[in-house]
A = this chain, B = another copy of it.
């Protein structure tokens, strides 16, 4: 039905020919099969990569492993008299790690904010003010001076954006854009290369300060969430790979399972820092990522988010000179709605705003995906991408000035009591208006986006003309569209809120015009609804976004309309296309598993989903065959069976025996590394045994095992040794019969966070293996033309 048509015989992971050797081939024959030289291997793997770029699921991504390998070592650990102590220590360590994640995430967020503050200070205090003084001396009001200011302004912005773009392009390309899709993939169980590296963090945090300081229509919130995730991954591992430092702590957390849990806490901390929304942060992590709801984990996430929010408040309260007052919540502080209520007759208006938001959001996503494809096709070199960034920076700055010239929206200072104390920015742009007036356009274009959102939410009724709002909304919509996907770190939250607030306020003015006799109409609440609708239409989050907006506005009263608006905008948006993050993930061919099994999947059985060309090993296996398997396949787990018989007729796959367990690639490599040698009389080395191995030995090189493969330096003699896997294999991997449906397989995968699922026949013989990619192939094809609107309307046919 909605299934990718992939050739079933093709290996979706590598495209390599499978090397299968059988236990009944004698040792001599085996030895003659030479090990592939490194170069040959690299070539073959490159070829495999190239093939894969064409397929629907990219081979660049690997799965994370959430299952515990319950081998004999693991079980024996429990009998250790110190085990209770060690468990307690781990449990305490988890809290300590979370504490540090919270603190560091808060610090990074505060640093980003302070950097942006100083960058704008430099711009206004030193550059523009001085230029202005120069102007006043030389020229009368306006004229050439304006152009000078404008050019200086544009140059400064371009400079900052150039720094940001260079960092991304030349240091860490994965740090571009918001980072939320990447974090989402990681939480879903897909490893995106480089996404949680230290250099990504550095580029991301400094880069986003530059892009926001450089006046792009970009928010700092998405990058903060990504930063939180990187910090979590880094701290929990107790070491750094970019700079090879190992603190030799938290060794128990060096596995995918723990790392993923900490990253979810880090993402929550990022949201908490960005919006002062700890509950919203936890909900974000749950809604976007986690497939499980574990009370303890959720609680730690909450703690982390709380600490991060606390840290930001503390640092910023000190920075802004009100040290110790912690009620300062978050960076995206949208001010408090006072004494504003809503009535039941306003519900239809909120519904209308929701519909608008859904349509505009869908339009945004549609264009955005096309723009990304265009960039991928035509902007291939780094220089081109850098140039695009500079162009956008210049256009963004120019648009503001242009609008200022064209739209003459001067408002008396007295109209807006919140603006009685004009800040530096507005004072400068007062030049365009008469004395005692300020420019509403400047109020929107030249303040920080957060300040502009605040103005739109809380300014009194007549602070903005309808035309100003319309022009601003259209311009900002286009700028945001163009900015998102540039090679700079940039978030989508604040720009979307700003666009939405502008047209939401416009709706408010419309309502006031239509019902002039009704009191209590305040365009501010429609601006809030519009902001929610626009953002909801783009990212399609519901519960977490409601919590975030409520926490960021410190307001509960409007909870209900906000929810309503977000739901409607998601419904409407889903008719047309997927959310922005999901579209991007799909474009990158990531094997993400959705919330629900694909529709109409009852009659797709495990037999059809599974890959039949399994490479299995015996519980005691020759080193030579293991090496061969390691070097010629890129599988990460191998079923262990009690016997391997030659293939039956009409089949190329050997006839495997009963399931005895599952062994991971990383485990085999670690075992091979821990061999010891003796030397015979000629000084020739002999493998004679294996060192005693402990659980921690398996995590020492996490997550980079493959590097070690080349350093094994096995001699031909070594290859004849036998390796006993029985103590190390996972003795009871999950298995399903051949007639299990895709629906139940999906539920197992998603519910337990599996990486491998064995398929066995009636006698418990291994017949195939299912991995994440095999399931992801079957996801419904959103782009299919046949998709009826009715079918899309209700997104949860979870029959």
Contact = CB atoms under 8 A, between A and B. Distances in A.
A791 interface: yes
Given A88-B797, A546-B279, A790-B88, A342 B327 contact: yes
Contact of A343 (B326, B760, B794): B326
B599 A75 contact: no
Nearest to A747: B752
Interface in A373-412: none
A791 B739 CA distance: 45
Interface in A752-799: 752, 760, 762-764, 790-791, 794-799
Contacts of A741: 70, 75, 732
B743 A68 contact: yes
Contact of A603 (B78, B95, B740): B78
Number of copies: 2
A595 B797 contact: no
A306 to B, nearest CB: 5
Contact of A551 (B556, B732, B739): B556
A88 to B, nearest CB: 6
A278 B710 CA distance: 56
Nearest to A660: B762
Interface string A564-600: 1001000000000000000000000000000110011
Contacts of A296: 595-596, 795-796, 798
Contact of A731 (B282, B286, B739): B739
A92 B791 CA distance: 11
A381 to B, nearest CB: 40
A45 interface: no
Interface stretch (A297-305, A472-480, A489-497): A297-305
Which bucket holds chain A's interface residue count? 35 or more
Contacts of A276: 556
Interface in A42-75: 68, 70, 74-75
Contacts of A243: none
Interface stretch (A15-23, A29-37, A147-155, A287-295): A287-295
A324 B342 CA distance: 8
Nearest to A762: B658
Given A293-B293, A326-B342, A310 B732 contact: no
A673 interface: no
Contacts of A603: 75, 78-79
Interface hub of A309, A602, A743 (most chain B Cβ within 10 A)? A602
Contact of A799 (B87, B290, B313, B658): B87
Contact of A324 (B306, B343, B797): B343
B751 A302 contact: no
A744 interface: yes
Interface in A323-342: 324-327, 329, 341-342
8 contacts: A68-B743, A79-B603, A88-B790, A88-B797, A286-B293, A292-B292, A306-B563, A658-B763
Interface of A: 68, 70, 74-75, 77-79, 83-84, 87-88, 90-92, 94-95, 276, 278-279, 282-283, 286-287, 290-296, 298-299, 302-303, 306, 309-310, 313-314, 324-327, 329, 341-345, 542-543, 546-547, 550-551, 554-557, 559-560, 563-564, 567, 595-596, 599-600, 602-603, 658-659, 731-732, 734-737, 739-741, 743-744, 747-748, 751-752, 760, 762-764, 790-791, 794-799
